[in-house]
Every structure is written in C-alpha cells, then in structure tokens.
C-alpha cells in the first residue's frame, strides 16, 4: 500500500514531465525560439533542481513528507500552466526555474520514501520498478502530446491536472514523515559518503537533460514530423522501461558499479551510431534511440541505489537531496553545451552523449581498479 501509493503519486507527476519534455521545445520552436534559447531555458529549468535539494530537508522537518509533496506539486503545476501566458524566452526561463524547483522536490521526497521501505538486497529491484513506472508515465505523456498536438491550452491543462492529482494521491498514503538527520543539505558530506554515485549523477545530468531537452530538436533537424518526433522520444523511453528491470536485478547480484558500467558502454556505442555522418532512416533512428534509452536512462535508479546502500532511514532525504543536487549541476550545464554543439552539427546531441559516457566508463574503471568503497555512512 505504501510503496504502491508512493510510486503512483510520482508516476502521475511524471506524466506531466513526459508531456513537457516534447511540448516545451516544440512549442518554443513554434514561438520562434532558437536552439540556443531552448538550450538555455532547459539549463535554467535545472537550476531549479539545484535549489530543490536545499529546500527539501527543512521543508520535510516543518511540514512532514506528505504536505511537503503537496507544496512541491503546487510549484510544479504553476510552472506549467503559466507558460502559454508569457511567450518570451526570458519569461519561460523564469517560469521553468519555478517548475524545476517543484519537480526536484517531488523526486527527492518520492525516492526518500521508497528507499526507507526497502533493504539493500532488494533496493535495485524496487528502484528499477519505480523507474519502470516512471518511464511508463513519461511514455504516456509522449503519447498525449502526439494525440493533442503542441498548440493551444490542452496539453498544458492536462500536464497541470495530473500534477494536482499526484498531490491528492500522495496525501492519502499512510506513511510517516522520513525526517532528515539534519535540517540542511551538506553536499561535501554526501560526496564523501557516496563519491561514485555523486560523480555518476553529475554525468547522468549532463546527458539525460540534454537528451530530453534537445532530443526532439535533433529528431526534427533530421527531417522528422511531429508524430515521428513523438515516436523517436517514445522509443527512447520504451528502451529504458524494458532495460530497467534486468539492470536493477543484475545490480542486486553483482557490484552495482559493474551494472552501471554495462549501461555506460552501451550508451557510447548507441550515441556513436546515431552520430554517424549520414542522416539515419526513420527505422534506424528509432532503433538507435531505443538502444540509447535502454542503456542511458536506467542508470539513475542504479546510482540512487548505490548512494543509499549504507544510509540509515533518517539519512534518506539528505542522501537523496545530494544526489539530485549532483544531477542538477550536470543538468544545468548539459543542454546549453549540447545546444552549442548542435549549432555546429545536427548530430551534435548523440556525439555529446557518446563523449560523456566515455568519461563515465573511465571513471568506473578507475573506481573498480582502485577498489573504492561503494558508499560510506554519512
């Protein structure tokens, strides 16, 4: 009941993220925003992810996890419904910042609650189940965009409505507040406690945020229609959903870093293939995006599991806040950097991802060779 309610509430919120992932860049393109504008708007959105981790510990201490989730949902909802009212890049950047803060809090609170309900032996599988539900929600959002299109109020109303429903569901979950040990985030302590997970979350943020922000732009630049762009992004999410459970199962049976290494190597191969000079046919592009999503997107759940392996129940919010903060550092920089590369070549996005995960592969190989600890207590 508790785990199901937690997953249901965050999944509803993630339907909204699925809608906005495609809606924001395509709607912005229709308003005349350049790839440079879109990249910076995405980067500012992730500045909100830098702020959310600092707000989570004191917010949970004062309000409890359920009401803190409702406050986060209100921020996210407001940042969705206000976008069509202010069709200017600077206004969109400010509004997306508010939305990013809200969604960061939603992630932190959901993941802290889930990690508090499981031990290490099943952590990878539970977080994989959570990530599968998340990807199913994101796919649902993608399909909604394909059905509703990217003009008018309908997709914005749908996205804000499911966020409001998420708050209602979360308030009905019978779970006590997971209070943090400290009322503030201490990033350096989290880095010492989980160095590999923190480094991995930075790289994941650099890559995943770029993929979500500019994947539709990459697909459109390679001649795809709106429906084909939606299919391209859906293939990314479908690959992630199908690969998540096997990788999570594997990570509960071997060193989690080796499971992460497998995904990193696959991301390098898929990114390099999509970055070949010739424009890919639609079938080849969909196959490449499927493999890319299956290798890259499951890694966040494995990194969260790795970071939480030695944390106590009271440390979950701070560990989760630290990992989201690390992710946000990467996510804030990734889209503008990838957008700059895309202005040089329309294949810049997959080449960017291949380069990032070459670095991630090297980091993991060094950690395994030096026998660095998986994680340490705070």
Quickly list DSSP for 236-303.
HHHHHHHHHHHHHHHHTTS-HHHHHHHHHHHHHHHHHHHTSSSPPPHHHHHHHHHHHHHHHTTHHHHH
Tens of pLDDT, residue by residue over 356-377, are 999 999 989 988 887 655 555 5
Rounded Cα–Cα distance for residues 205 and 43 (Å):
11
How many CA atoms lie less than 13 Å away from 187 in the CB half-sphere?
15
d(CA 278, CA 263): 25
122 half-sphere exposure, CB direction, 13 A CA radius: 9
For every one of its 378 residues, what pLDDT tens digit does the chain have, with 9 covering 90 and above? 677 778 888 888 889 988 888 888 888 888 888 877 887 887 788 788 888 888 888 888 788 778 888 888 889 988 999 998 998 888 999 999 999 999 989 888 888 778 777 776 777 788 788 888 887 888 888 788 878 877 788 889 999 899 998 888 888 877 654 555 556 678 788 888 788 889 999 999 999 989 988 888 888 888 888 788 888 888 998 898 889 889 888 988 888 889 999 999 999 999 999 888 777 788 888 999 999 999 999 998 899 888 877 766 667 777 878 888 898 889 888 888 998 898 888 888 999 999 999 999 998 998 888 765 555 555
The answer to whether the beta carbons of residues 237 and 139 sit under 8 Å apart is yes
Q: What is the pLDDT of residues 313-344, one digit of tens each?
A: 667 777 878 888 898 889 888 888 998 898 88
Type and span of the H or E element at 376: none
pTM: 0.77
């Amino acid at each position: 009941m508790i785990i199901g309610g937690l997953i249901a509430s965050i999944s509803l919120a993630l339907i909204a993220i699925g809608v906005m992932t495609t809606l924001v860049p395509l709607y912005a393109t229709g308003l005349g925003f350049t790839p440079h504008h879109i990249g910076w708007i995405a980067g500012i959105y992730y500045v909100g992810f830098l702020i959310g981790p600092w707000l989570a510990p004191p917010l949970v201490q004062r309000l409890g996890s359920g009401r803190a989730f409702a406050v986060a949902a209100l921020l996210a909802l407001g940042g969705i419904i206000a976008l069509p009212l202010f069709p200017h890049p600077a206004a969109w950047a400010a509004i997306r910042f508010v939305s990013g803060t809200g969604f960061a809090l939603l992630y932190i609170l959901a993941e802290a609650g889930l990690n508090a309900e499981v031990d290490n032996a099943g952590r990878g599988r539970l977080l994989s189940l959570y990530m599968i539900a998340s990807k199913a929600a994101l796919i649902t959002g993608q399909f909604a965009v394909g059905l509703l299109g990217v003009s008018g109020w309908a997709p914005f109303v749908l996205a804000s409505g499911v966020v409001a429903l998420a708050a209602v569901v979360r308030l009905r979950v019978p779970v006590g507040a997971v209070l943090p040990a400290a009322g503030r985030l201490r990033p350096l302590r989290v880095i010492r406690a989980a160095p590999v997970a923190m480094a991995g979350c930075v790289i994941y943020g650099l890559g995943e945020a770029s993929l979500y922000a500019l994947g539709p732009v990459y697909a459109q630049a390679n001649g795809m229609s709106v429906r084909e762009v939606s299919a391209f992004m859906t293939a990314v999410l479908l690959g992630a959903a199908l690969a998540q459970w096997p990788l999570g199962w594997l990570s509960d049976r071997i060193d989690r870093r080796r499971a992460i290494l497998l995904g990193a190597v696959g991301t390098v191969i898929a990114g390099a293939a999509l970055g070949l000079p010739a424009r890919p046919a639609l079938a080849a592009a969909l196959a490449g995006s499927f493999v890319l999503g299956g290798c890259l997107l499951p890694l966040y759940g494995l990194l969260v599991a790795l970071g939480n392996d030695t944390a106590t129940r009271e440390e979950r919010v701070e560990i989760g806040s630290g990992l989201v903060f690390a992710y946000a550092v990467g996510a804030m920089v990734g889209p503008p950097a990838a957008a700059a590369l895309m202005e040089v070549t329309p294949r810049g996005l997959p080449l960017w991802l291949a380069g990032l995960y070459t670095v991630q592969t090297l980091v993991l190989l060094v950690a395994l060779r030096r026998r660095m600890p998986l994680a340490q207590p705070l």
